[in-house]
Amino acid sequence: MLCSLHLRDFVIVDQNHIDFGAGFTVFSGETGAGKSILIDALSLVLGGRGDSSVIRAGAERTEIIATFTTTPSTTAWLNTNDFEHNDELILRRLIDQQGRSRTYINGTPCTVAQLRELGAQLIDIHGQHAHQSLLNPQSQYTILDTQGQHLALSQQVAKAWQQWQQALSTYNHALTSSQLHQQELELVEWQIQQLTDLGLGEGDWERLSQEHQRLAHAQSLLDNAGHALHLLEADSGALPQLNSALHQLQSVLSHDPNLQNIYQILESAQIACAETISDLNSYVSDVELDPERLEHIDQQMSAAFSLARKHKCEPEALPDLLEQLMTRQQQLHQSVDIESLQTQVNKAQNHYTDLAEQLSKARAVTSQNLNHHVSAAMQQLSMLGGQFVVQLTPTDASAHGNEKVEFLVAGHPGVKPAPLTKVASGGELSRISLALSVIASQAARVPTLIFDEVDSGIGGAVAEVVGRLLHELGQRHQVLCVTHLPQVAAYGDTHYLVSKQTQNNATVSKIQQLNESERVEEISRMLGGIEITSTTRQHAKEMLGLTH
C-alpha cells in the first residue's frame, strides 16, 4: 500500500507531503489546478520517463519520495536483487537541470529499470496516457485463470511444458549424438593413434629441443672446446703461466707478508684453471657427432610441429591433448538408451496434454462468465450496447496452454469487438478496466490502483455507479482517483483538494486533505454554480450522507 508521497520542486509544487490510508481516496480541484501532478509524480518515482522540464521554475532539481508497505512479492524481489528492507519500502528519485536522474530503493542506488520493475508490483495506474497491466498479455492469462480459480492448474501446465521440452531436448541431443558419434569416434581414435606413434611424453619436447641443439652444433662445440683447452694447457697457455707466476712469488713471500693475499688468489686461479682443463677434457670426450640421431630427432620434431599446427596448439601441449582425446574416446564409447529417452518424451507430452486440455475446458467456462458480468457492468458505466469478449484462439502447445487468451471490447452496439490495445478512447479504456477490476478484483497483482479521469464523459446516475464501484473496489485494494464529478468524490473515504495559489509572485500547487466541513464546500463547488448557496450545501451534505 502507498503510505506517503513527498514532492519537492515538482512542476508547480514547491513542497508537499501527503499521507495515504486504505480504502477509496479522491482528488478534486479546479481545472488547471494540477490534479495530474500526483499521477505524474507517481509515474516518475515508479520508473517512468522524466527530464528537467518537471523541475519547478527557479529550482535546481526535483525530488519525489514514495513510501510503501512491503508485500510478499516485493520482499521476494528485494531479496533477489540484494536490496536491504524491513516493513517499509522507500522509492526516491531526483532529476537535475541537466536531466540527470538518480534513483534509490531503500536508500541504495538503483537503475531506472529496477525502479520500473519493482513499481509494477506496487501500483497500477489506469489513465488515458498511462500503461496498464490489463494491456499486458500475461496479465490477461492471469486474470482469466485467477477469476476461474484455475491459476494453480495453469502453473502446472507451464511446469509440464518445461518438463516436456527438457525431455525433448535431451532426446534430440542424444539422437543426434548417436548418429554422429561413430564418425567422431573414428576421428578421435585416428588422432590418438597419431599422437601415440609420435611417442611424445610429458617434458619430452624440451629434452628433444636441447638434444637437437647439441647435435646440430656438435662440430662447432668440439672445435671451440678443443681450442679453449689448448689455450689453457699449452706451454704458453694459462695454466703454465699461472704456475710460473706462483713460483716467482713463492720465492719472495718471506720478504713481504703483503704478498701472501696475492699469492692465495693466484693459487685459487691455478686450481680453478686445472679443474676447468679437466672438465673440458671430459666434455670433448663426451661430445658425439651422430648424424643419424640428428636426422631422427629432426623427423620427430617435424612430425610434432605438423600435429601441433593441425590441432592449433604448441608442440609441448601435445601430451595434454592426447589425454583429452582419450577421455573423449571413453565418452563416445558410452551407450545411450534412445528408446528410454523416447518413452520419457512421450510420458511428458501426455502429461502436458492432459493438463492443457483440463485448462482449456476451465478457461472456456470462465470466459463465458467473465464476458457476461463485464458486459453487464459496461452498461452501468454508460457504455450501452458495449460488449466484452474473452477470445480463446487455438494455438500450438506452449507454456500458456493450447490457446491464446486475448481480451476484446466493443464500446458501442454494432461495433466488432477489438483487442483492448486498439481501444481508441482513454475514457472507455479506463471504464472497461474499472468494470473488469471490480469484477475480477482478486486477480489484481498490485495493492494500489489509481484511476485518472475514469469519469470522463459521464455524469448523473452513471457517475454515482462509478463512485459506488470504486468504493467497492476500495474495500479490496487501496484506490486513488482523480475526479471532477461530485457523485464520485462523495464516495471517497478520504478527500484531497488540489488548488493553485500565488506565493512570491509564483504560482504553486497545493494538495491538502479536507475535513468534514471543507469537504461539504468542495462537493458544493463541484456541483456547480458561480455562488455556493445553502441549497447547494444541503445537496452536498445529502450526497455525503447517502454515500456514508
Grid coordinates representing 434 are 474499472
What is the structure's pLDDT at 354?
98
Contacts with 426 (C-beta within 8 Å, 6 or more apart), sequence order: 127, 128, 129, 453, 456
> Rounded CA gap, 295 and 546, in Å?
112
Note the pTM of the prediction, 2 decimals. 0.56
Contacts with 158 (C-beta within 8 Å, 6 or more apart), sequence order: 399, 400
What is the structure's pLDDT at 454?
66
Walk along the chain (548 residues) and give the pLDDT tens digit of each residue: 999 999 999 988 888 999 999 999 999 988 776 777 888 899 999 998 889 999 998 899 999 999 999 988 899 999 999 998 888 999 999 999 999 999 999 999 999 999 999 998 898 877 654 335 677 788 889 889 988 889 899 999 999 999 999 999 999 988 887 777 778 888 999 999 999 988 888 888 888 887 777 777 777 777 787 788 888 888 778 888 888 888 888 888 878 888 888 889 988 998 999 898 888 888 777 777 777 777 787 888 888 888 889 988 998 889 999 999 998 888 877 766 788 899 999 999 999 999 999 999 999 999 999 999 889 888 887 788 889 999 999 999 999 999 999 999 887 888 889 888 776 466 666 677 777 766 755 455 688 988 887 666 667 777 888 888 889 889 889 999 999 899 999 999 999 999 888 777 777 888 899 999 999 999 999 988 668 888 899 999 999 986 66
* Beta carbons of 485 and 31 less than 8 angstroms apart: no
> What SS3 class is residue 127?
coil
For the chain, report the end-to-end CA distance as a whole number of angstroms: 23
Distances (CA, A) of 256 to 242, 243, 253, 266, 268: 20, 20, 6, 16, 20
Dihedral, CA atoms, 116, 118, 123, 126, nearest 10 degrees? 30
What is the structure's pLDDT at 79?
92
* Beta carbons of 143 and 124 less than 8 angstroms apart: no
What is the structure's pLDDT at 302?
84
